[in-house]
Each structure stands twice: as structure tokens, then as C-alpha cells.
Amino acid sequence: MNRLVSLIIPCYNEEESLDYLYAALAEVSAGLPQYRFEFLFVNDGSRDGTLDKLKALAQADPRVVYYSFSRNFGKEAAMYAGFCNAAGDYIAVMDADLQDPPSLLPQMLADLESGDYDSVATRRVSRAGEPPVRSFFARMFYRLIHRISDADMMDGARDFRLMRREMVDAILAMGEYNRFSKGIFGWVGFRTKWLPYENVERVAGTTKWSFWKLVKYSIDGIINFSQVPLSLAAWGGVGLTLVSFLMILLVIVRKLLFGDPVDGWASLVCIITFIGGVQLFCMGIMGQYLAKTYLEVKGRPHFIVSQTNAPNPTRIR
């Protein structure tokens, strides 16, 4: 029996890209007759004609399976839904906008077949066509996370990767609510080959990521995969306490030597606002972790599928 390859494609308002993507997938799969394919499209609560497009594609090609969410749950939830429902021996995640070139698939499959790797991941070696500010902050993020987290994340890493079943099972075992895939992929380990390629601009439509959404996403990544900010808060507290002991000594000595003149109002105000700021900042850090914990503890489902053409779907998980 030929091996089954599952391609998971999260789609949010992608009606303009889907035809190009499907054409590319049809071409690549035709060139790989030794494999069977299933195309798992996850419609992440799109507001445009994405779902109708998917239904039409599914009518025409039985390999097309769609899962349509009851609202927008985010790309992470869409990928998770894909993993939950993928039956393949090899499983890949791929963007709908052709920024993850399907033409890399034959090479990726060959690398897995060689038996030396469990996963082939892609990373962009250029960020052409991206605003420079965005590239700069992206680079800063990877440098920071590399220092403060065990989950190794590669600069320029895409979510586009092909994995063996074993690795996907490990990813499914990580049922956390706050999902940060780049961290999850790194955390589970396995032998990964990195495939560099030049950045491709999206074929149609517009990016779903604003600058602030990316900033929030990177903060999520740090909080989800590192405890260092918490220790920073603790060490900052220890440092400030030591400083305050020195100040107390200084004040006592000054009182003994020079009496007790009433001045220093300005410095007092500075100290109070500074300490107040540091305290609020540290409480904010704790609050971030607490908020994550709160969401985890509630154990709400990651996604809700309201429409699908799959025979036995995982609808809610």
C-alpha cells in the first residue's frame, strides 16, 4: 500500500489564493505517484468565500477534506485541528498563500524516506519583501528566545514542515491551550533537517498579521516556553532589597555625622516612583503567567468544527 501524505492547510480569508494553491498541489502530487495524498483544509472562520471554494474543491477532488470552524480560532488552533484529523504516515503543515512552496515537497519526502530524519523543516534565509522593522524585531526575538528557552527555535523557521507520524503523535500529546508551534516543534525534539529557501511573497490576498499581533505572538512565545522572566522579577527584587540596605546604612551614618536636616524630597519622589514602577512591572510578569495558567486550567476546547465533509472528524478538542 502506498504511503499516505497529509497536508494541513490553515485558511483564513484565502479565497483568492486557494485556486493557485490547489493547482500547485495537484501538480506536485501528480509528480509523486508513489504516494497517496489527503489535503486537509481548515477554514478558520473566514468571512469571505473561502468555505464555498473549499466545498467546490471537495466536490471535484475526493482528496480534499475541509474542516470549517465555528469562528476564528487562530492559526495555531487550525494546525492542531489538522493534526488531530490527519491520518497520514507523513504529515505537513502548509500556508494557503503559497509562501510555503509545495515544490519543496518531493525533496522533503525523499529526506524522510532516507530514514535519517523524522522531520524536515524549512526556514527562510532571506526576508525580502518584508518591512525592515519587522525583520529587525523578528531577529531580536530569536536571539532572545535562544538564550532563555530550552525549546530551540531557528531564526526564519516557518511552520512549513513534513513530519513522521511519531513526531505528530508527540505533538498531539502536548495538549496545552496556549499553543506556540515553533516552540512545540522544538520541544518534542526528534531528528530535524533544515531546508533553507529564499522568501516568497504571498500569491494573493493580504497578510493576517499586523505588527502588534506579531508582538503579542512573540510575547506569548516567551511566556509559553521560558520561566526566565519570572526569575528576572525575583532577582530584580533581591537586587533592589540589597540596594535599600545600603541606603539605610547611608542614611544612618549621615544622620549620626550631620544631624537630620529635612531635605531630599526630590530624591524621595524619584525612589518611590521607581520602586512603584518596578513592582508593577513584576506584578505584570506574574499576571501574564497567571493568565496563561487560568486559561489552561479552564480546559476549554482549542477548536470547534461546525462543518466538514470528513466521515469521522474530531469536531471538538
Q: Return the axis-axis angle of helices 132-148 and 211-225, rounded to nearest 10°.
A: 10
Q: Quick one: which of 175, 179, 161, 8 has its CA closest to 83?
A: 8
At residue 4, the 3 state secondary structure works out as strand
Q: Would you say 45 or 229 has its CB closer to ligand UDP?
A: 45
127 interacts with ligand UDP by CB under 6 A: no
99 interacts with ligand UDP by CB under 6 A: yes
Q: Would you say 21 or 233 has its CB closer to ligand UDP?
A: 21
**Residues 271-310, interacting with Mg ion (CB under 5 A):** none
Q: Would you say 125 or 290 has its CB closer to ligand UDP?
A: 125
75 interacts with ligand UDP by CB under 6 A: yes
DSSP at 104 = G
At residue 180, the 3 state secondary structure works out as coil
Judged by CB under 6 A, the stretch of 56-64, 90-98, 146-154, 240-248 that binds ligand UDP is 90-98
In whole angstroms, what is the distance from residue 46 CA to residue 216 CA? 21
Q: Where is 290: in which H helix or E strand?
A: helix 265-298
Q: Please say whether the beta carbons of 168 and 86 come within 8 A.
A: yes
Q: Quick one: which of 179, 205, 155 has its CA closest to 93?
A: 179
Q: Which of 97, 100, 118, 159 binds Mg ion (CB under 5 A)?
A: 97
Q: Please say whether the beta carbons of 41 and 143 come within 8 A.
A: no
Contacts with 55 (C-beta within 8 Å, 6 or more apart), sequence order:
66, 309
Judged by CB under 6 A, the stretch of 164-172, 186-194, 207-215, 308-316 that binds ligand UDP is 207-215
Q: Which of 123, 127, 165, 202 binds Mg ion (CB under 5 A)?
A: 202
Picked from ligand UDP, Mg ion, none, the partner binding residue 14 (CB below 5 to 8 A depending on kind) is ligand UDP
Q: Would you say 38 or 95 has its CB closer to ligand UDP?
A: 95
Write down the least CB distance from residue 187 to ligand UDP, Å. 21
68 interacts with Mg ion by CB under 5 A: no
Q: Which of 5, 7, 8, 12 binds ligand UDP (CB under 6 A)?
A: 12
Q: Please tell me the number of Cα atoms within 13 Å of 255 on its side-chain side.
A: 8
Q: Return the axis-axis angle of helices 181-188 and 165-173, rounded to nearest 10°.
A: 120
122 interacts with Mg ion by CB under 5 A: no
Residues engaged in binding ligand UDP (CB under 6 A): 10-12, 14, 44, 72, 74-75, 78, 95-97, 99, 202, 207-209
Q: Binding residues for Mg ion, per CB under 5 A? A: 95, 97, 99, 202
